A and B are shown apart, each in its own frame.
Chain A
Amino acid sequence: MAAGIKTVILLSFVLALGFLMIILSCALWSNWLPLLVALTFVLAPLPNAVFASCGADDFSAAYEPGAGPADLGRFLTACVVVTGFALPLVLAHSEVISSGASAMSIVGGALVYGTITAYTATFRQDGSEFD
């Protein structure tokens, strides 16, 4: 379990680094609009998490073609992730925020989202060993 604890510590460091980047991108230019990026990336895994239990039950195979709610969750997740990347670019394009703030908030948001995704994947692998 030492590896698991190391993973958790590493992921929490990366998460804190991501939030640090986003908050710095807001505070350095004293324009707090990039904080929306943090909100977007935190909300990004939510549709998949909500609709995950609607898709397949224990009796269906790997995938059943008619699982509409799971598809809706995937669609919304991809929408929110692209929104998180596009929002700072659009704001920087119309000169609402500076391009440095845009780049920093994109990197920070990607770190936050990557942390959440990696945490979910690791946790799922650990859980399936005891099934």
Chain B
Amino acid sequence: MALPRSNYDPRRVCVNPFPNFELPFGKYRHAIGIYLAGGLFALANWTFLDAAILSAHAHAPEGDADYPVPVHVTFVDWIPGICSLLGMLIVNFIDKDRIRGEEGFGDSHAVWRARLILFIGFALMAGGLAGSIALLVLKYILAGYEDQFTYYGYANVAQNVALMLSAVVLWIAQSSGGEYEYNLSI
């Protein structure tokens, strides 16, 4: 490779390169990263499902039978998680070699399209996170519910943060390859 890396690297997508993480655990760091990402993924979804199940089983406090349950988890609460999930799927379906735009990997249109789809995936994940925060503020905090019900909103934010963390861990784990020196300069 005789490409100059001083000022402008044409393989880059972002101007600022992601830092190169040197993870511990030696040769097992790839597998550990994948396991960690899967665990975070399941944790995210169970955090939200906990809120949903809790909402479905919500009941009036003891001795106050006609006190109505003020708010439930509805389909609106599911939307940010679905957006994050779609974004994570899209980001991970992209072949990482295509984004780098190596020579001999097809035409330049393929690289352009891969970057566009990657952008859509990241935008979906960020939109899911932003949507969950908006939901927490608009539906739960501004309405002034008790902590028992505001928990639904916090669980939603936690779900989306954990989904994004899972995607990041998966990306780092997949790009920290072994002896082939797979440093993604994105």
Contact = CB atoms under 8 A, between A and B. Distances in A.
Given A65-B174, A71-B174, A74-B31, A82 B38 contact: yes
Interface string A64-106: 1100000100111111111100110111011110000000000
Describe B's contact surface by its main secondary structure. helix
A63 B174 CA distance: 12
B49 interface: yes
B30 A63 contact: yes
A75 B180 CA distance: 22
B41 A75 contact: yes
Given A79-B39, A90-B50, A95 B57 contact: yes
Nearest to B30: A63
Nearest to A86: B46
Most buried by A among B34, B42, B43: B42
Contact of B50 (A62, A94, A95): A94
B177 interface: yes
A76 B38 contact: yes
Contacts of B119: none
Contacts of B27: 62-63
Interface residues of A, number: 25
B10 interface: no
Nearest to B166: A75
Contacts of B99: none
Given A65-B174, A65-B182, A75-B34, A86 B57 contact: no
Contact of A78 (B30, B35, B46, B180): B35
Interface string A4-26: 00000000000000000000000
20 contacts: A61-B179, A62-B27, A65-B180, A71-B34, A74-B31, A74-B35, A75-B34, A77-B35, A78-B36, A78-B38, A78-B39, A78-B41, A79-B38, A79-B42, A90-B50, A93-B50, A93-B53, A93-B54, A94-B50, A94-B53
Given A77-B38, A82-B39, 20 more contacts: A62-B27, A63-B30, A63-B178, A65-B178, A71-B34, A71-B174, A74-B31, A75-B37, A76-B38, A78-B35, A79-B39, A81-B39, A83-B46, A86-B46, A86-B50, A89-B50, A90-B53, A94-B50, A94-B54, A95-B57
Interface of B: 27, 30-31, 34-39, 41-43, 46, 49-50, 53-54, 56-57, 170, 174, 177-180, 182
Closest 9 CB pairs of A and B: A78-B38, A65-B177, A82-B42, A86-B46, A75-B38, A79-B42, A74-B34, A94-B57, A78-B35
